Structure 1
Amino acid sequence: MAKGKVSPELIEQFKQIVGEKYVYTDKDKLEPYSHDEVTDPHYMKEPQVVVLPATTEEVSKVVKLCYENDTVMVPRAAGTGLAAGAVATFGGVIISIERMNKILEIDKDNMVCVSEAGVTTSVLQEAVQKEGLFYGGDPCSGDSCFISGNVATNAGGNRAVKYGVTRDQVMGMEVVTPTGEVVTLGGKFRKNATGYMLMHLFIGSEGTLGIITKVYLKLVALPKYQQDLLVVFDNLDDAIALTPKVMNAGITPVCVEFMDNASIKQVEIFLDEKLPKSDVGNYIIIQIAGDNEDVLMDQCEKIVELAEENNAIDSLVADPAVIWKSRKAYLEADRARSLVFSMEDIVVPMTEIPGAVQQISRLSEKYNVAMHCAGHCGDGNVHIDILKDDRTQEEWEEMLPKIQGEIYALVYQLGGRLSGEHGIGYKREALLEKYTDPVELKMMKAVKKALDPKNIMNPGKVVSINDEVPVEE
């Protein structure tokens, strides 16, 4: 594998490219780059140097230097990931694209937004909305994550039921390869049968195949009307079983989210706010949108009718500000309770969610550990927060693999996979190796070797192609 250490001479060359101000070597500036949103110390590693280029040309020059010097590089967007994918676990250079933060064009006629890599997702959403257009991607970390990070992890989010995941929004991208070459894949056109669709290799590649510097994103017309419903159940199975009934009724929601009662109560504590029916309730949050208000109201009535047939306690027209604040606070609420926890990100067929959650609840009892569930039941994606609480680090490290082993054995038995939207990174690389079909894994490694023969671009994340050992200080 390429070297993890960075020479003083190389650091000086970086300064000549991006300017001394944008090459970090001081400990206080390096610390924020030592982790993403994974707060377990096991996954933290302070980099030796962070470089902040401002243009694709600067990115290319930095990458070429790393390639020529056999030096590991780690692409990094906003650092909001949940798989330790943008951490310098194996040493080397972190290349942060945070200065590349311009929206380059909103093309209303072609309904495309062209953006630099470091634009915050919510900023992009607001910009296109002012033009009467709509961007369908909506990860829960939209206020802080960068659009290129969404692409690199194929982020999902709340609107995936109707609009799809990030992959479904991307029409093209500019990429700097591990050798420092620059290539544009795709563009403003919506159809393409011109050879291999290489663009899709980079979507979800988590910075292991190159650095995304520009993206072309599909836009749609801004819906005129929107309605948010909160449906409360005392039985989680009944709650989740509502989703296929709604979709089979000819209604395509923007999103269908769920929160179990333990999650709701934890969010109440975190926000210091009373939430509806929180004493016994499990939540289903449904958003619908469209251009005909009468049709929307008919859909609301049908959803309420189906909910009542499915033993709902109550159905409420929800205040979007309140209910979405509660749903999006799920992660922070658990972090406030237990700084160290493991957020699992399973995906199963939609109809298998009740059985999966039911069996996962039994694991909570078996191991006497708090496990909170929430997620996107409209697309089968369940988030499970396993909380360390007051256990010692040794007890935690002994217990967690046992729980994960049981969860993933169940998930694959149900026809699912170990990550729906958070990705693999370093955190789940060994799990991917264990559970993935050997032929599929061989194909993934062949792609990595072909595009990154020196194993220089974010090694040890997603798949390992040789014996990689984290660099010691």
Structure 2
Amino acid sequence: MMKEYNSVSEPFLADVRAVVGDANVFTEPEKLEQYKTDEEYDPRRFRVPEAVVRPANAEEIAAVVKLCNKYNVPLTVRSGGTSLADGAIAVCGGIVLLMERLNKIIEMNTEAMYVVAEAGVRTVDIQKMANEAGYLYAGDPCSAESCLIGGNLATNAGGSKAVRYGVTRNQVYSLEMVTPTGEIVEVGSRLKKCSTGYCMEQLVMGSEGTLGIITKVTLKLQPMPPYRFDLLAVFDDPFKALDVVPKIMQAGLNPTSMEYMDNSYVRACADYIEFKGAPHYEDGIYVIITVETFSEDELDMKMEQLDELCEAAGAVEVLEADDRIWAMRRNCQESISLVSKVSLTDDVVVPVDRIAPTIKEIMHIGSKYPFPIPVKINAHIGDGNLHIVLCKCDLDDATWEKIVHDFHEEVYAYAYAQGGRLAGEHGIGAKKLAYMEEFTPAGELELMRRIKLAWDPNLILNPGKVFNA
């Protein structure tokens, strides 16, 4: 049973306008319509908010949050709108809070190797500024050109470089946030290690806007390796492609990226970017591997080892992966639109050593259901994160709902039996809330509920997401 909230009222809107200005509060139907969804394409899941608010800074956000508590109006934070889990949809009504005006990079310190940025800065702009200074910001979600850094923290975004550098939480020193009751606090510190009380910044990251609104962040920079090679190993058998992963990891090659695309993705992505000469278009399965080093000799040695390992595993061809291959990988999600207007993207995660049997089992489970297009899989195979895509095409709603549900019940049960979890980087949002409650151990879920209620007693922030508080 969900909590009941009040509708947005004129007195509430008047108080909000007094905080952020008339020009930054939107109630026009055509404007609200723009924020009914994120990367969700099923119209049955759309929700038009009652108002959209665009604050300029943490102080304005704090004042708006206090008003939401006072008037019992729910608030949903919208970062770049790239969520694949309905994370930015106002499922309980109320207001959508936009972060786009908090868009300043405050400091780039190359000597101490950190950057301070507001939450509304695009991830790609942080990457570019770091690169121009000769450094690397290692967070690299595939949506980097459109997602915002605050959203990366809120969902603990992963991406292609997680094999070597870890996910977003591994790139963060500290953050500033507005609490669910409207206080501005800073958590974390620019330290290499710390054993001083609870690690609050780590708790906030990945909480999907339910424990606070991230407004500013201090990020780690890495030295940029001067030598890099991107290798494409093409296989004609998915199991041969997957079996090469443990061999590469055990060889100590420390790759930056290891990406997998099944042949349905190879064809769809090549078509989407109009890459007519894509290698082995008709039957190729791609494994894309990036190696970066600080020595040219080390790079040559590692590339020779990789080539030998891939050929020994049964690769039909090993060649350099140019920008077009990476463009294919970055456009996996977008390419789905060529075959189905409505689709569902999942991101189950399992221990790395269980990724091959998990993909095999998912392919087997998928074959039992009448999906118009066979289950599509791409994966960050170096860190155990699988992206599973189901396409609705012309299926009627009732059939679609039934087979999606039954498919997920089997896949999630198998993933948890392997030591896996529901999401590796996309989060739970509203889309997986019921499964979160079903598959999360009861004791763990109860701890989450207690934390949520302690921090957000009025359940104002992002209700209807992650779990039912």
TM tier relative to shorter chain: over 0.9
Q: Distance in 2 between matches of 1:23 and 1:330?
A: 35
CA 1:269–1:364: 2 relative to 1, 3 Å: farther
State the Cα distance separating 1:353 from its structure 2 match. 1.6
Alignment check: 8 A CA contact 1:73 1:95 kept: yes
For 1:299, which of 298, 302, 308 is the aligned residue? 302
> Which letter does structure 2 place at the counterpart of 1:262?
S
Deviations 1:363-405 (A, max 9, x none): 3322132211001000000000000011122221122101111
Any idea what SS the aligned residue of 1:347 has? coil
The worse-fitting range, judged by mean Cα deviation, of 263-272 and 40-49 is: 263-272
Q: Distance in 1 between matches of 2:368 and 2:406?
A: 11
The worse-fitting range, judged by mean Cα deviation, of 330-339 and 168-177 is: 330-339
Q: Which structure 2 residues correspond to residues 12-23 of structure 1 after superposition, within 5 A?
A: 12-23=14-25
TM-score (norm. length: structure 1):
0.96
Tell me which residue corresponds to 1:135: 137
Alignment check: 8 A CA contact 2:275 2:324 kept: no
> Which letter does structure 1 place at the counterpart of 2:317?
D
For 2:26, which of 24, 27, 34 is the aligned residue? 24
Tell me which residue corresponds to 2:123: 121
Does 2:401 match 1:397? yes
For 2:424, which of 420, 427, 430 is the aligned residue? 420
Alignment check: 8 A CA contact 2:264 2:376 kept: yes
Q: Distance in 1 between matches of 2:218 and 2:256?
A: 22
Q: Distance in 2 between matches of 1:13 and 1:190?
A: 43
Tell me which residue corresponds to 1:380: 384
The worse-fitting range, judged by mean Cα deviation, of 15-24 and 211-220 is: 15-24
State the Cα distance separating 1:2 from its structure 2 match. 5.5
Alignment check: 8 A CA contact 2:268 2:338 kept: no
Q: Distance in 2 between matches of 1:190 and 1:148?
A: 22
Q: Distance in 1 between matches of 2:273 and 2:6?
A: 42
Tell me which residue corresponds to 1:454: 458
The worse-fitting range, judged by mean Cα deviation, of 219-228 and 186-195 is: 186-195
> Which letter does structure 2 place at the counterpart of 1:401?
H
TM-score (norm. length: structure 2):
0.97
> Which letter does structure 1 place at the counterpart of 2:313?
N
Q: Distance in 2 between matches of 1:247 and 1:397?
A: 39
Alignment check: 8 A CA contact 2:52 2:98 kept: yes
The worse-fitting range, judged by mean Cα deviation, of 408-417 and 170-179 is: 408-417
Tell me which residue corresponds to 1:69: 71
Does 2:316 match 1:313? yes
For 1:45, which of 35, 47, 54 is the aligned residue? 47
State the Cα distance separating 1:201 from its structure 2 match. 1.0
Q: Distance in 1 between matches of 2:192 and 2:33?
A: 42
Q: Which structure 2 residues correspond to residues 217-228 of structure 1 after superposition, within 5 A?
A: 217-228=219-230
Q: Distance in 2 between matches of 1:71 and 1:47?
A: 11
Q: Which structure 2 residues correspond to residues 17-416 of structure 1 after superposition, within 5 A?
A: 17-274=19-276, 275-319=278-322, 321-369=323-371, 370=373, 371-416=375-420
The worse-fitting range, judged by mean Cα deviation, of 263-272 and 238-247 is: 263-272
Q: Which runs of 5+ in 1 are unaligned?
A: 466-473
The worse-fitting range, judged by mean Cα deviation, of 352-361 and 226-235 is: 352-361
Q: Distance in 2 between matches of 1:168 and 1:425?
A: 22
Alignment check: 8 A CA contact 2:429 2:465 kept: yes
> Which letter does structure 1 place at the counterpart of 2:425?
E
Alignment check: 8 A CA contact 2:6 2:71 kept: no
Q: Distance in 1 between matches of 2:45 and 2:112?
A: 43
Q: Distance in 1 between matches of 2:452 and 2:406?
A: 30
Deviations 1:181-202 (A, max 9, x none): 0000013223221111111111
Q: Alignment RMSD, CA only? A: 1.1
Any idea what SS the aligned residue of 1:346 has? coil
